[in-house]
Copies of this chain bind each other. A is one copy, B any other.
Amino acid sequence: MTPAERREAILAAAVDVARRKGLASTTVRDVAAEMGTSSGLIHHYFTSMDEVLAAAFEVVARQDLELSACLMAEASSPVDALRVFFRTYTPSDKDWAFQLWLDAWAEAARRPAVQATSRRLNLEWQGLLERTIAAGVAVGAFRCTDPGAAAWRILSLLDGLALQVVAHGTTISRDDVVAWSTAAAERELGLTAGTLG
């Protein structure tokens, strides 16, 4: 197994463990057991557990990000791209992926590498949304004076609502998240109600 392959294997194992136990309680021994190897091997490829967790989180987060970016690029219009965004971003069966975000945001205070990764990925999501909004404004589909700020608002609203679903379970429903966030985005971008439904 070449070093690059082994590195990927370690991260794949770390992702599998994190999916079940959460990022915060994923340990070196868990990852080693998942691979069926020894724990020392992990420290041969990563200098600290912080970096393992950060890299594993990046694998998951970047996968979702690129899936969304890819599907949005294929959309026929900015409005359609936004529909795709809301459909792919809202956590559903992949609750565990959003739980990883919760863990990352909390662990950021204690794990430098996790903080850097989390911030970077969050910025990329905001950038993706900002470009979509700006493109929509350019063709007259949206009305928005500050696409960057609007992107932060829409993204943060989604994060805040999704957080309630994932962390607290039954407080609000996934349907509420979709309905409420699209409604807010329509207001934000000067669309008539129901356009993004």
Residues of A within 8 A of B (CB): 22, 24-25, 99, 102-103, 105-110, 115, 118-119, 122-123, 149, 152-153, 155-161, 163-164, 167-169, 171-172, 176, 179-181, 183-184, 187-188
Contacts and interface: CB of A to CB of B under 8 A. Distances in A.
Nearest to A116: B168
B184 A188 contact: yes
A163 B160 contact: yes
B180 A152 contact: yes
A163 to B, nearest CB: 6
Contact of A153 (B109, B159, B168, B184): B184
A184 B119 CA distance: 23
A158 to B, nearest CB: 7
Nearest to A158: B160
A81 to B, nearest CB: 21
Contacts of A171: 119, 122-123
Contacts of A160: 155-160, 163
Contacts of A158: 160
A106 B115 contact: no
A112 B164 CA distance: 15
Contact of A168 (B24, B122, B184): B122
A152 B176 contact: yes
Interface centre among A25, A102, A110, A115 (most CB of B within 10 A): A102
A105 B163 contact: yes
A105 B108 contact: no
Contacts of A181: 153
Contact of A22 (B110, B164, B188): B110
B110 A106 contact: no
